Structure formats: structure tokens, C-alpha cells
Chains A and B, each alone.
Chain A
């Protein structure tokens, strides 16, 4: 099911990372990583544990401050910006360890996702001016749309903490979609899911791309990665080992040696 969409990087990539370096003490977690993500693709980042995938995500989102390199998103330099400014530019993410707002309902969680699309300030909110009510209705509608996409509409009023694990992961995706990002970072969305849920996740990721959102995916589940991604980046010890289409990567002897540990065929 490999999609042979425009797999060559277009002239102006959505995201261009150049020579990114991040070290913790003496450990180089990212040792000069460069890659480009063309708009409209599903771009996966794979690599063994400790290869630097999550570090890369945290650096892209502004949670770490890399010591060197540049992260160019649609012409804006992200390096040095705080996470909330990066989010405002159109980048959002989900988390490997759930970061749901357990003190709210599913709908409210997703409504927080709409934060950037609304204007209501402190005073207007406290006085509940007529414009606020209108905006609340609009937010509710947007949140429901995002829940619809993630097939969670019937769970809207439940407390987020009462859902089964697989659905919680979906709420995180719905919440991120509600922000209308142009780049969505999914950090191990399949971790802890069963086979049925993983299949549904694959369809969901494909729907997200169809909606025009570029997806950057970190994932260990190889059948999922190989079937859904347009291009892959393989990291090892904080460096880029290979980059290409799923077919290229699966045939790449370096990847097989370093990461897959032998000739393995995946049912895709």
C-alpha cells in the first residue's frame, strides 16, 4: 500500500532541518541532523531506541534548545522560539506518554486545541459578553468536527480519564487536529494499541494527510510505518543513516545491518 505520491522533495519544503545538534552532558543525542519534509506527505522518522527520535521532536517543538543548526518552517526559523509561538505558526504534536488534560471532558480537551483559533480575552470571558457565547458555540462546533474525524463523537461528554487507553491516544490526535496545524507531529501513536486499533490509526493518519496536513511520524510499529509513510528518515546514534521511500529504506543494506538486524521482509 506504499503511496507513490510526489516522493521527490518539492522546491520549497514545508520543514527544512539543517545540521541540528543537541547534547545532554557528554552524550550527543542529535549530531548534525539534516532533512527536508515536503508539504503534504507522511514523513516517518525511525531508528532504534535512543537514536534521537523523541529528542528531535522536542527540539522541533521548542522544548529543547539545540546548540547548533536551524529549523526552517515555511520560511520561519523555529530555533529559539518557545513552544507556544511554534504552535501559533502551525506546528503541533501528540505525546509518546499521554499528556491529556485528565481534569476535563473529551470535548473540553479538544476545545483547548482550538485555543489559537479563538480570541476571547480575560475580561470578556469573566463578563461573558455576547461575542463570547458566539465564539464558544463556534469552538464547540470545531471540536466536534475534530472528534468526528477521529471517530470519538459519542465520547464527547465523558471525562478524558475514563476512556480506554487506545481512545485516549485518539483524543490527543483530535486535540491536535482542532488546532488546524499545517504540520502534525505524532510521537509513537501506535504504542500500546492492538492490531485493530493500529489499522484504524493507519486510516486516520491517511485521512489527516488527505485533509492537507503534513504528518511527521515517529513510530516503532514497522508494518504501520512502511504502509502509511511516503518517505522515511532513519536515525542511528543521533545521525541520519538513510533517507528515502519505504522501498528504498527496506532495500538499504546499511539500514538492514544497523537497525533491522538482518534481511527482514514486512507484510505491507
Chain B
């Protein structure tokens, strides 16, 4: 059952560029939707499964992006090594941060992670000699995978979708395992989880690091794909948007958060035609989804589809 869903998704993703070659929505929007989906799938492990909020996730996204940008432009570092360095930096910072910060709960955790995101953003703006300040860094070379240069739209689409499938696969495996159940137990009842031998502090640290790694990975890809990074891509709004994607898609569902990310990215693009009214319509749609599909888009839509299917069967019988 799990395999069927995964392969359907993979085949769909692979068919899109064949069905709509050179289509702006597939190539450009698809790539940014894919990156957002990797971020959302990672954040969902922390929020949806372990029940811990992070309002500073753009910071880890930025760490991956800036590490790749700085190492490849200033030190001519091979892109794969820069990507690995980004993962290590984000992972270590997440690990150091996790113990003190994840002792907090609810609103307090939200405030602390928000503060962390703001600090990292300020560093990006102020540490001009390193980060280029508000102007950012440009001239980031294309991603080079052992000699294969990712320098066309189609190649970027392929790389990012492969990365997304990897992220989804890892998330699905993790959730349905001893570790994943321990995470869900932390969300269900930390009290009971501890009494069954789960070191809840350690479990929360682990998932915080994993979700930071997902974000840093997406960040590195983002820097190479855009060939330019600036602090604007990693501010508080981005963190909030990531949380929105996870909640909109449906908490504690890997596909749900990927769907939420894709839906929100498409929505931004689709609403551009409304110009000044874009944000208003955007907000209204989000409110409507949350009111009518409180379990999120993914579950809401699949239940709706099932109901329609039953109606149709009844009508034809």
C-alpha cells in the first residue's frame, strides 16, 4: 500500500515534463514547489509527528544555502563538498540548540524558535564580509554531481524531484519504525512515552536535527538552482509559510505536507494575476481550507474524492 502511493507519485512527477514540455508551471514553479515540499516534509517530522513547533526553520534552510554559496563562490569548493558542509553545520547547530530549546513547550517553544530564526536572519544581513549583507551573494556555480553539471531547467527538475522522492522515502520509512513510533508517542503523551523507556529529550533532539538536515539540504539545492542568495529568502515570513504548508497539507502526513507545499506554491503563482488582491484571496482561501478541512488538504480532498466515488457508484447501480 505504501509502495503503491510512492510509485504513483514518482511516475506522476516523471511524466509531467513529458506531458508539458517547456511549461513554465512545471519547470520553474515545479522546482520551487519541490524545494518547498522537501522543507515541509522535514518540518512535518518535527511538527506533525513529534508535536514540536518551529517558527525558525528558514534559518536551517538559509544555513544550507549560505554555506554552499560562500564555499563555492569564495573558495571554489566543489558543490557536493559544500552541500555536505552545509548539512554538517546545520546539523551541529540544531543539535546544540535542541536540548535547551526543546525543554520548552507550546507557545514558549514557538517564541524561542522564532527568536533563533530572527538571530540567524540578522547575521545574514549584518555579516557583510561573509554573506554580502542585504545584497546577498551571486554567481553561485551550478550544482556539479561528480562531473554531471546541473545547468538546464530539465536537469534541475530531475534533481529536485529525485531529492523530493528521497525525502519522502526517508520520512515514510522513519515514521513507520521504532524511532517514528517513539516520536509519535512523544506527541501522544510524553509522560507515557518516558514510562515505556523512551528518552524523550533524545527523541526530540534527533527529530530536530533530522528536520534541520532536510532544510539545509533543500537550502544548498536552492542556492545552486537560483545561483543567487539573499537574506530575504530566509526571513520570518518564510518560516511562517513553511508552518502553513505543513498545517494546510495535514499534520502527521508525509504526503500531506508535500501536497501542502505544492498547493501553496502553486497558489502564489496562480494568484499573481489578481495583483493587489493576491494576499487577500490567499488568506481567505487558507481560512476556508482550515474551516472546511481541519485535517488538512490531503485527507480532506481524499475523503471528498471517496465520497464522490461512492455517490457515482450509487447513481450507476
Contacts and interface: CB of A to CB of B under 8 A. Distances in A.
A100 B192 contact: yes
A267 interface: no
Contacts of A128: 173, 177
B131 interface: no
Interface in B143-159: none
Interface in B181-231: 181-182, 184-185, 187-189, 191-200, 206, 210
Contacts of A111: 181
Given A126-B170, A128-B177, A115 B188 contact: no
A35 interface: no
Contact of A87 (B180, B189, B196): B196
B184 A103 contact: yes
A112 B173 contact: no
A121 B198 CA distance: 13
Contacts of A84: 194-195, 197-200
A102 B189 CA distance: 9
Contacts of A99: 189, 191-192
Interface stretch (A21-29, A132-140, A225-233, A250-258): A132-140
Contacts of B189: 99-101
| Interface bracket on A | 35 or more
A82 B194 contact: yes
B187 A125 contact: no
Contacts of B210: 122, 126
Contacts of B182: 112, 115
Contacts of A127: 170, 173
Given A99-B192, A103-B188, A108 B197 contact: no
A99 to B, nearest CB: 4
A63 interface: yes
Contacts of B170: 126-127
Contacts of B181: 104, 108, 111-112, 115
Contact of B188 (A88, A95, A100, A118): A100
Given A99-B189, A103-B184, A136 B197 contact: no
B107 interface: no
Contacts of A121: 179
Given A101-B187, A176-B196, 5 more contacts: A88-B197, A101-B184, A112-B181, A112-B196, A139-B178
16 contacts: A63-B191, A84-B195, A87-B195, A88-B197, A92-B196, A93-B195, A95-B192, A101-B185, A101-B192, A108-B184, A113-B196, A115-B185, A116-B196, A116-B197, A121-B179, A125-B179
